[in-house]
Structure 1
Amino acid sequence: MVNSEEERMEEGGLEGVTPAQQLCRFFSQGRHCNFGKKCKFLHVRDDGKAHEKETVSTSYPAASVGHRPSPVRRPCRYFIAGHCTMEDRCRFWHPPQLALLDDQPVPGNQTRAEQRIQPVPHPSVLQEVKLSDMTEDIAKQLRDTEISQLKKRFPKDQLIIQERSDGKVTYYRATVKATDPDWPFDLKEIDIMVSFPDNYPQEIFTLDIPLDQDLPSVMARHVQQASLEWLQAKHATNQLMGKVELLFRPFLRWLDRSLERLFTEGARQLKKDIDLEKAGLQFIPYQELQATVSETSEPASDAAAADRDEDIEMTQEEGKLVQQENLGGDEGTEKEETSHLVENIKISNPRRGTEVKLLGLMLGENTATVVAPQITVSLQCNRCKVTADLTLTGRTPCSAQCENCTTSISAAFRPCMLHHYSDVLGYLDLQNTTAVDLVLQECELTVGCLSCSQEGPVQNLAYGQTKEFNCENCHTKLSILAESTKFHYIQPRTNKTGSSGVSYKTLRDPAVQKGKPLPEKGTCKHFKQSHRWLRFPCCGRTYPCDVCHDENQDHPMELATRMICGFCAKEQPYGNGKPCVSCGGMMTRGTYTSHWEGGRGCRNKAKMSRNDRQKYANSNKTVSRKAAAEKK
């Protein structure tokens, strides 16, 4: 607070001097006076140093002509914003021309700081526009801006401009170098080729990775695919936000940050293809197979054409991985070799019967192939619905009788090769029975190693658990993971006469199909409210409850670690009281009342909620004295 005039004069020691002749002690000391221009004392400073600073400050702009200003004498941001409490004692520069604004009236609702801070005009470049404001002129301006920035971004030795013969499309080939100082690869640059359509940036620019460079074709395709996915995602995001943005410079920043990751992923794919080639396997794209079939096949009937298309779809679904035979010398052309491989696919892998797939299959980096010479499968009788286990091999079919109804049952297994591009374990030929579950823990598998091309046996593989082991020959680390099993019945094909040669009495879908409920919705006679099957790790089999396990097995039961939903047959980790991760259904009865529900509720009326209708039940009922006495 500022003292009165008399007190200030007494403190200053100037008795008898009028206030107009007295200096303001706040202003003279370099402090801020709250009265400002309304102060009755003089706002004058006789300090020599302050006068020198004022002189230097006033003469600074003229003296600094042709010289670079010192960093210490840069303008004071507080003074420019409106007020600096240090006044002349501030070590930063207070421009004198801004002080004249204090004597001028502030127009409208504009503050003093807003009046002082005037935006400096800079030549701005148009980078993004609202989608609603987009016109042809703005789109053309954005496109020209992008092209000019592209030409300024790359020097002449790193940019090649090519025009098509018709002159409508111009291609820009630029060399992008990695800026990471810890770049791990020998190849430090990549060539990209872009072209901007006429309606750019309303649609993304085209991007190609030329193959005439040191980058392998597999890595180039991977980089191009990942870049196109990023551009499409960025363009879709801008469309949702209602704006149009120039994407080339953001793409260069993303490519610079992600180039090491893209090169690493592409190198892994290249290594995988090289290892497959060493193992005698060849990867043929689906387009090449389709073109070869269309060229080499003769005109056939509609039924034959449908069968051929189904074979091609089968090849695409199973991963397009075919086994290559050693051809001596230079016999045959490349088309004949590809045609021969297609014929091998049709003959060696007939899709019939019940297909057995391992869902969520993940093979280690050095795991090449997996083959099951012997499996144990749970089969259900079509007549009496009794389930029994049967061990099958890929050499001979197996015949048995149902223990309950003595129905003759026959089953045969045709194994297939599991690899990184196929999850089909094999095919089952069943009669009078259906497949329920694959006991993976009792199956015998043979695993091939990519490092040494040798095979070794593997046992005790469990669902949902990664099986890690070492190769017996080169001791390379191998691993296998499978989440669940899927059985899919393939409808038999009909020949030209219309007969399939298979008895329709034996055609039945598998008992367990993903997306469909389990038999009896997973319940049993012991638990009617439990809609799930439990997979016990002691034997690897599924039963509705532990009692059913003890009735069918002779070994001690271990707590289940996985379960199958009774509403959608989705196998998942065990969770008590949690809904299904696929359909969201409650597999156990999880709703309870607060009053009394199997011992989980409350019957004490003092502790019950006042919103519970059972709290005040029979509280107003009239009771006779005789009944009250008998109750006592």
Structure 2
Amino acid sequence: MMEEGEGEKPTGDSEPVPQTQQLCRYYSQGRRCNFGKKCRFLHVRDNAKTHEKKTITTPSQSDATSPNSEVPGGNEGHRPPPTSNSTVAPAASRRPCRYFISGHCTMEDRCRFWHPPQFTTVEDPPIPCTRPVQRNPPVPRPSILQEVKLHDLTEEVVNQLRDTEIKQLKKRFPKDQLIIQERGDGKVTYYRTTVEATDPDWPFDLKEIDIMVSFPDNYPQEIFTLDIPLDQNLPPVMSRHVQQASLEWLQAKHATNLLLGKVELLFRPFLRWLDRSLERLFTEGARQLKKDIDLEKAGLQFISYQELQATVCEKSASDTADADEDVSDEGKLEKTEGERTMERGKHQEVPGCDEGQQQEENDEEASHLVENIKISDPRRGTEVKLLGLRLGENTATVVAHQITVCLQCNRCKVTADLTLTGRTPCSAQCEKCSASINAAFRPCMLHHYSDVLGYLDLHNAAPADLVLQECELIVGCLSCSQDGPVQQNLSYGQTKEFNCEHCYSRLSILAESTRFQYIQPRTNKTGPSACEGTYKTIRDPSVQKGKPLPDKGTCKHYKQSHRWLRFPCCGRAYPCDVCHDEDQDHPMELATRMICGYCAKEQPYSSGKACITCGSMMTRGARTSHWEGGLGCRNKVKMNRNDRHKYANTNKTISRKAASEKK
């Protein structure tokens, strides 16, 4: 008997009997067949519109030579090519299926995209299927020219890229938002437009920024110029910060492309970067703006290192020009060679000196502008010492990168905060008496055997307090010998624990209080001449350990409170909470430490207790003329007559026996 699914072989005179093939049950049910095209069953779905029956009649072997027969050796179950009457679009006009190209398309015959043929030609012999069929590489999608290799870059390609960038710019922004400005010669064109943030959770009221770009003739071989106009609602400080950050990003992106050997159109990537980074740039610019406003309120002016260096270069150039004029007028001026050398200064070109030596001389003069920072004797000025300093086991060194100190004017006794660094001095003006105040800070290294934070060089001012909470410190780890910054909020009397950024070792710092001590300068003169001359009055620090505070710690609000309170919200010390609210604009937190008004000893806050050093009561005593449960007055003679305890038991009867015993 013959098995099911097999047909009878045709005889010589009889007509061919069609053979039937079973359907694949996995494919017909809409599932995936693991055999794919190697499956010996027919891949036809039940619900396919193109197939009305579950079986297909295939021609016999005798019809293989007919013109409509399939290719010999072809896989069974493959559908025949579509006829001319089919409604399917031709393959050349359809997009290739990306899933079929990548390896497998679950839609198979129902996919509306083109499946490229993977079969051999008719002329080639059939190849046995011993390997998995290799798919063709994915067809690249057509796109606008955005980047070009450097070796393919020509003048024509450069002009094409530049024109493409300008066309994209004009298409991106409507005409009412794009302003085109041309220079007088007509060579440089500026495009000004408004960029708006797309973040739905934008935190600022100002949501847009105007930018002005210009594309040079050889763009994109060099980056385009970017300017942030100042005639908008954005403050100038924030505008400069956004412009500087944008130029740094463009230069870094362009340098990276050059290393990769290509050039790229950078305007659209720059817009995407600006949209993502605009909130961060606004936040950083707002911080700089707040710092400038605080300095302006304090009467200070911050001069950056670049401006200082530019001033030094201009001064050196003017001195060199004056020196050349002196040399040209050598016959007219009757001066010695030594006097000319003194007038020319260090910027004069000396025979035998190279450019490196001249640059060193310029740097030396720039350093001389910073007074009392690089001196031979470091122990000079006002010493800043951290009392009760305790460093952790793995904490090697601590160096102050920036400190905030509270200074008191010598003339009008007004206090103000001043931020100092070890690089440049600061000049300020008193808000009340307009006196000139100069200050400089020379940091020292803190370690287990030294608690000196640094030295202050002050003029017309005296230190009052060190705001430790706003100081920036650099800590050296003993385990990995690496330095790292300390997080802020370092408070007095509290151990600050943190981990090293490199080896994650546990580090800690503790400081109880700060002491300011003026160091008298050393004099080398001896004899009567040492006492001659003028004396410069140096005022001692207003807060010294062992001496009373100004007005013994009292204020106009509380006359009987002889102490200062240190508030943890800002780390500053004030006589009372009202004084804190008058000077600060943030919510007050309850004080955790206090400074004695009689001996200036800083200690934990306590109410109604005496100082731990001098034993003085910092607040008025609780003893009154009333009984107060035994805590007040106990002498009935001095007791207030309105107190019922004054006359208690005065009318009590006493027995004769008790009276006789008393006698």
User: Given the two structures, how large is their TM-score scaled by the length of structure 1?
Assistant: 0.44
Which has more radius of gyration? 2
Bigger fraction of residues in helix: 1
